[in-house]
Structure 1
Amino acid sequence: MSSTDTIVHILPPLTNQAQVDETYKSKNVTINTQEVTDRPVLRRDNTGLRNFLADSQDNQNVGYDGEVDTLRRLGRFYNWILTFSVVTRYAFYILPVATLLAIPLSIFATIHKESNIKGIKMMGLFVWLEIVWSSLWIAKLCSKTLPRAFRLCCGVISAGTRKHSLMIKALEVPLSIVFWVIACWASIPVIAAFNPETDVTVLGSNVHWIRSLQKGFLASVPVACVFLVEKVVIEFITVNYHRTQFSARIQESKRRMHLFELLYEASTILFAPYCPKFADDDYIINTSLLSTVGKEIQNVTDLQTGTPIRIFDNLGRLGTGVTSVFGNIVSEVTGGQRVDSKSPHAVVSWALERRPASEALARRVFNSLVSEGNDALYQKDIERVLGPDNHHEAEEIFHALDKDANGDVSLEEMTMIVIELGEGRRAMTKSLHDVDRAIKALDRILMCVVLVGAGLIYGTFFSDNFFKNMSLYTTSLMSFSFAFAGTVQEFTGSCIFLFVKHPYDVGDRVEINNVDLVVEHISLLYTVFRRVDSQRKVQIPNIVNNGNWIENISRSQAMSEHFALAISAATTFEEIENLTEELKEFVLADENRRDYKSDIDVEVANVGDMSKLELKINLGYKSNWSNEKLRVARRSKFMCALLATLRKVQINAPGGGDVAIGDASRPAYSVSVSDEEAKISRMKYLDEKESNKYVKDKGI
């Protein structure tokens, strides 16, 4: 039996959906489902099948081998020690090594008291090693408590110290290294504490190997400080970049999420989850883990009745109920904040990760809140559901949904808003991931610089002739500058372009050199785009984009478009006014007012060589052009309406508006006259032309 068959037969065979629902109702289980995401789940012991289901979406060549990744008894005991308390965790780290060091220490303190290294007793050396090992963890504890101490001391002066304490927390390892190196250097005299005749101080010693050890740790102090400065620079870039580029977007996304969670919660209060009216949408919203095995397994059909049953969805609903129960127990014991898998936040978050679930979520909320007989959602509908006490929340929710400000929200609008919210969250996550990878690449490059600086520092401490040869080293280095000058310039320009200018994020639609592109991936030295017209991938170095004009369409507000067309020179002003009125009626129609702005402008831009009129039409959309399908649909609809309107008001192309010569209604013919009559007619025309010339009366 395959693993798939095993999954299918977990539940007993049921004949129809009603029997499935009745089974769960009889158990008094509040049922919901949980969608699989790529988020890591902490302390997950059983990961075999779950990893197979997650990985099979990206790699079709992998297979589930049937083994379950479970922890043995020793592994569970190890996890218990690490998670029991801070004391047990640090004791588990410190005591084994300290015990190993205590064995030779006890030997040299009792049996071999006189053992020494060039006059220095071995007992003092191992005492110092115990101090070094203990000071490592003491330094770590100090750096771990430093953020709390900072908040405690500086919080009295200013309340906005959280971001600074978080930066200090991120610098825990570099600070620990600095504290530890200083402690090691300061504790070196302990080595000679059992040799009264030996002169060992912090600044020097008469023993050669101790003096070399002091030089090494003394040189390590500025090296550790340089390492700390490098990490401070990286952390400053990270914090400042995230605050300036993503803080507002994250807060806006969280606010919109909160508002939509209120709508979903109101929807579930009006209509319980999995009620007959919204059962299909709720199943789509709450797709369970086991339903990801395949569409063929998701709908299991009874052989006798042929009625599809949702075995996996119901299993997921039961699993979610059990998860919720255990979550309550754990949160009660630990005192932590519980994340309920049935909460509106969890359901909305999971639904936004997939387009079908987002569409189902929009349908459920819209159809449950809209008044009966209406095909649009109004502010009064939201106020009616939320209550009169939440008037401001209802107004804010409606303004967030009614982006085109036309006074109502259609199902298409709500669906588009929910899909855009999910896509924006995913794009923001990917952009943060790419930027973090770029910052890590910058960190690695700067670490190479720190490594070179560390070599120079150690050379200064251990070589007396280092400064004398510095000019020679500098000359040799400058002679090779031509080899890496371009690389340094590209690196510097790319850093400025990415972390200072930052003209786009992942998922943004931009226009570079009149080419429409979508940002796919951002790296430190290059960016990968996708062409809108051909879907081809384009990789452009950031140093090249640093000198280009970049139009970010996704960051733009509602955009407009100009249409230029040539019309007949015989067109009158009244006909142009009629065209303007007809186009205004088109954009103000009920089916179009959500797509176009009402202020459409029509103007005569030029008369050219007086054989035609150049007409210019300015059309305003109610959104930007980041959604290519929506832009194309709106533009095509307006172009068809424009052509129909031109024909309706009888505005013709240059030279048009009449039948062709030779037609029955416009026959072609010629008249023969004598030479004398032709000359007289020509002279008469010239005299009339001369007499009709405009002459300004200057007066006297």
Structure 2
Amino acid sequence: MVWKYIEEEDLMRFLKRVEIHTIFPLFEGALETGKITKSAFKNWVVRAYYERKSLAHSLNDTKTAVQQLHKLASAIVSVIIVVESVLVMGLASTKVVAFIITQLLLLGFTFQNMCKTIFESIVFVFVMHPFDIGDRCVIDGVQLIVEEMNILTTVFLRYDNEKIYYPNAVLITKPIGNFYRSPEMCDTIDFTIDVSTSMETIIALKKAIQTYIESKPKYWNPKHSVTVKEIENVDKMKMAVSVQHTINHQNYGDRNARITEFLLELKKIFENLNIKYHLLPQEVHLIQVNKNNSRMPLHL
């Protein structure tokens, strides 16, 4: 016999009741129905796989950055140990050591911009750390996905899969938006209806939108608003519906699919309520042409 659902009794053999109530919200629709469907379980497995994959990439890149920092710190410590050893063992006079230190300071002054860049990059990667591997970010108004992090540079993927290399010393000066770390995101959909639409129809429109949103609890938060923005040219009324997702916009494909479904539902609601938009009467100029090529304008 093939079972189509996973119910609470099935999980009682492996988990405690408290643990079951904790994991049920992780599956779409399970909290409302008390059952885990095959599609919900499949979606959860896919999300878990991508999260573990991103975590593995993040840990690998963090390990690489730490190794690079370790090499840099080891080089600096080695130079300090060599100078102190020479001074303690008396292999060189104080003047020689002072000369070496002076030369090192001169090199530091010569490469001060590089030293400043390395220091800012270390602060950005290990102190600020505004994103992880796989996060969808917004930099300079462009959405990018973090592909790789190093001490000096971060590699991003643009929407067309073009790789973009940003110096971390530059990123530390830029505002960075992070969809993955953001709370549930909102969307606003604008539409226009005829100004002659009755109040009863507008109320029915709001009720139909509310009914649809409440029927999709795994897609939309119940909180929403339908507002009138303005009346233009005395013939059309601009309106907007603002909705809140149950997810952030980290996965932009899911967001686009939900918005598309919502727009198609709006179209269906408009058709059911016979909501249309009519242009204002237009002035038409006609010209009558006689046989003698004389023209007589007619105004309608």
Normalization by structure 1: what TM-score? Answer: 0.37
Matches within 5 A, 1:252-331: none
Secondary structure of 2:182's match? coil
Partner of 2:65: 438
Partner of 2:89: 462
Residue deviations 1:74-127 (CA, integer Å, cap 9, x gap)? xxxxxxxxxxxxxxxxxxxxxxxxxxxxxxxxxxxxxxxxxxxxxxxxxxxxxx
Residue deviations 1:353-387 (CA, integer Å, cap 9, x gap)? xxxxxxxxxxxxxx6462xxxxxx5xxx2235526
- Please tell me whether the aligned partners of residues 382 and 398 of structure 1 are also in contact (alpha carbons under 8 angstroms): no
Q: Does 1:628 align with 2:255?
A: no
Distance 2:14 2:120 in 1: 56
- Please tell me whether the aligned partners of residues 383 and 391 of structure 1 are also in contact (alpha carbons under 8 angstroms): no
Partner of 1:595: 219
Partner of 2:287: none
- Please tell me whether the aligned partners of residues 383 and 394 of structure 1 are also in contact (alpha carbons under 8 angstroms): no
- Please tell me whether the aligned partners of residues 193 and 275 of structure 2 are also in contact (alpha carbons under 8 angstroms): yes
Q: Which of the two has greater helix per residue?
A: 1
* Aligned-residue offset at 1:626: 2.2
Name whichever of 490-499 and 551-560 sits farther off: 551-560
Secondary structure of 1:645's match? helix
Secondary structure of 1:441's match? helix
Distance 2:114 2:200 in 1: 64
**Structure 2 counterpart of 1:393, which letter?**
E
* Aligned-residue offset at 1:606: 4.5
Partner of 1:413: 40
Distance 2:144 2:200 in 1: 42
Secondary structure of 2:154's match? strand
Alignment partner of 2:261 out of 628, 633, 637: 637
Distance 2:72 2:131 in 1: 24
**Structure 1 counterpart of 2:18, which letter?**
H
Q: Which of the two has greater strand per residue?
A: 2
Matches within 5 A, 1:450-529: 450-463=77-90, 466-469=93-96, 472-529=99-156
CA gap 1:406/1:558 in 2 versus in 1, 3 angstroms = farther
Distance 2:170 2:110 in 1: 20
CA gap 1:539/1:609 in 2 versus in 1, 3 angstroms = farther
Partner of 1:696: none
Partner of 1:604: 228
* Aligned-residue offset at 1:401: 2.4
Residue deviations 1:24-72 (CA, integer Å, cap 9, x gap)? xxxxxxxxxxxxxxxxxxxxxxxxxxxxxxxxxxxxxxxxxxxxxxxxx
CA gap 1:549/1:465 in 2 versus in 1, 3 angstroms = same
Matches within 5 A, 1:419-430: 419-430=46-57
Residue deviations 1:400-439 (CA, integer Å, cap 9, x gap)? 3247854454332221111111221122112111100100
Secondary structure of 1:548's match? coil
CA gap 1:472/1:606 in 2 versus in 1, 3 angstroms = farther
* Aligned-residue offset at 1:660: 6.0
Residue deviations 1:157-199 (CA, integer Å, cap 9, x gap)? xxxxxxxxxxxxxxxxxxxxxxxxxxxxxxxxxxxxxxxxxxx
**Structure 2 counterpart of 1:546, which letter?**
I
- Please tell me whether the aligned partners of residues 369 and 382 of structure 1 are also in contact (alpha carbons under 8 angstroms): no
Matches within 5 A, 1:197-236: none
Matches within 5 A, 1:630-669: 630-652=254-276, 656-657=278-279
Secondary structure of 1:507's match? coil
Residue deviations 1:593-636 (CA, integer Å, cap 9, x gap)? 43222222111244578775442321122222222332221111
Q: Does 1:583 align with 2:225?
A: no
Distance 2:50 2:142 in 1: 23
- Please tell me whether the aligned partners of residues 597 and 621 of structure 1 are also in contact (alpha carbons under 8 angstroms): yes
| Greater length-normalized contact order (CA 8 Å, ≥ 6 residues apart) | 2
Matches within 5 A, 1:557-568: 557-568=183-194
Secondary structure of 1:458's match? helix
Partner of 1:401: 27
CA gap 1:450/1:607 in 2 versus in 1, 3 angstroms = farther
CA gap 1:447/1:385 in 2 versus in 1, 3 angstroms = closer
Q: Which has the larger radius of gyration?
A: 1
**Structure 1 counterpart of 2:53, which letter?**
R
Q: What percentage of residue pairs aligned between the two structures are identical?
A: 22
Distance 2:32 2:101 in 1: 70
* Aligned-residue offset at 1:659: 6.9
Secondary structure of 2:137's match? strand
Distance 1:492 1:504 in 2: 19
- Please tell me whether the aligned partners of residues 383 and 390 of structure 1 are also in contact (alpha carbons under 8 angstroms): no
**Structure 2 counterpart of 1:630, which letter?**
D
Distance 1:475 1:608 in 2: 75
* Aligned-residue offset at 1:646: 3.8
CA gap 1:637/1:391 in 2 versus in 1, 3 angstroms = same
**Structure 1 counterpart of 2:48, which letter?**
L
Matches within 5 A, 1:133-212: none
**Structure 2 counterpart of 1:580, which letter?**
K
Residue deviations 1:334-368 (CA, integer Å, cap 9, x gap)? xxxxxxxxxxxxxxxxxxxxxxxxxxxxxxxxx64
**Structure 1 counterpart of 2:59, which letter?**
L
Distance 2:238 2:272 in 1: 19
CA gap 1:444/1:384 in 2 versus in 1, 3 angstroms = closer
CA gap 1:489/1:419 in 2 versus in 1, 3 angstroms = same
Alignment partner of 2:172 out of 546, 549, 565: 546
- Please tell me whether the aligned partners of residues 588 and 598 of structure 1 are also in contact (alpha carbons under 8 angstroms): yes
Distance 2:112 2:235 in 1: 60
Distance 2:174 2:271 in 1: 43
Normalization by structure 2: what TM-score? Answer: 0.80
Matches within 5 A, 1:13-24: none
Residue deviations 1:646-666 (CA, integer Å, cap 9, x gap)? 45445555xx3567666xxxx
* Aligned-residue offset at 1:482: 4.5
Partner of 1:212: none
What is the root-mean-square deviation in Å for CA atoms of aligned residues?
A: 3.2
Distance 1:558 1:491 in 2: 36
